[in-house]
A and B are shown apart, each in its own frame.
Chain A
Amino acid sequence: MTSNPIFERATRFLSALRHCQVLGLRVHSASDDGLTITLPYSPQIVGNPQTGVIHGGAITSLMDTACGMATLCVLPEFEVCPTLDLRIDYMHPAEPHKEVHGFAQCYRVTTDVIFTRGFAYQDDPQKPIAHVVGTFMRMGKAVKGTKGFAGVIGGATK
């Protein structure tokens, strides 16, 4: 596991999000190119009790978080970036009792909008369980909630 400023920022950011703590999300790796968040398997996120397969909603939470946090990889300073839209294509169900990794990256950054994409996988990144695209709105630095947040995650705000 690598340690770097983006990884540190991402880890601090994630620890401030209550629901992500409930799901047990953790930053697996992070760089300029994107980041990977890991969702551990747990009985509480099962969607189908007969098969033990986790609910799509948990994967959506993982991927919404991963895509949203991918903005940390490309922005010089912390900005609140609410989700505009998100689309998930499910390739096949997640295998029970295995953690899910969510990789996300930003492929276009404009003054107002950030375009992200990613995929969720278990053992093999070549066999994703879901593909995701999401767009995020840039709210700039002077937005309610930003200042406190930047303090929490120790962003580069001066």
Chain B
Amino acid sequence: MTDNFKEQLQQAHERGDYASLLQLIPYAKLIGVECSRLGDELLFRLPANKDNIGNPLLPAIHGGVIAGFMELAAALHLLIFTGSPGVPKIIDFSLDYLRAGQFRDTYAKCQVCRQGRRVANVAVTAWQSTQSEPIATARAHFKIEETPSP
């Protein structure tokens, strides 16, 4: 990772504004991921976008987009909160679809359930109407770069 990216990360975190950081990730731009800091929490938003539709008749957001959004949210959450020197690498990703993702804004929040020295476990919840009615829940394992001991 270049110093430029690290600097951007640092600045973004200080300002609580992650737009410039997300601009650096083409896939995040493609599906349109946004991120904001609420107090000590991060809230991810996927605005309704016709290009993200899977089933055109319902219409519903493509399941793969919801997964991609949640996976990206989990990686960014880890990157921002662990201060790890590199982008975490995904090991596995498991998600349960609970409701159809309607053509409207989708939100996601993450929780780091366990962070070991090499691997982190992150849970992600995605919802549209209210957080207590998630459209999907997921968990992911990431390989994190070991921070060199001081």
Contact = CB atoms under 8 A, between A and B. Distances in A.
Interface of A: 16-20, 22, 43-50, 54-58, 60-65, 68, 80, 82-90, 93, 144-145, 148-149
Interface residues of B, number: 40
A149 B56 CA distance: 9
A67 B133 CA distance: 26
Q: Which 5 pairs, one residue from A and one from B, show the smallest C-beta to C-beta distance?
A: A57-B68, A61-B64, A55-B27, A19-B62, A145-B57
B71 A61 contact: no
A17 B59 CA distance: 10
A18 B56 contact: yes
A19 B103 CA distance: 13
B55 interface: yes
A61 B58 contact: no
B1 to A, nearest CB: 6
Contacts of B5: 50
Contacts of A58: 27, 68
B80 interface: no
A64 B94 contact: no
B25 A19 contact: no
Contacts of B126: none
A19 B92 contact: no
29 contacts: A17-B54, A17-B62, A18-B52, A18-B53, A18-B56, A22-B30, A44-B30, A47-B25, A47-B26, A48-B87, A50-B5, A57-B31, A57-B65, A57-B69, A57-B71, A57-B72, A60-B71, A61-B62, A64-B63, A80-B55, A82-B97, A83-B63, A85-B95, A86-B67, A86-B94, A89-B92, A90-B93, A145-B55, A149-B57
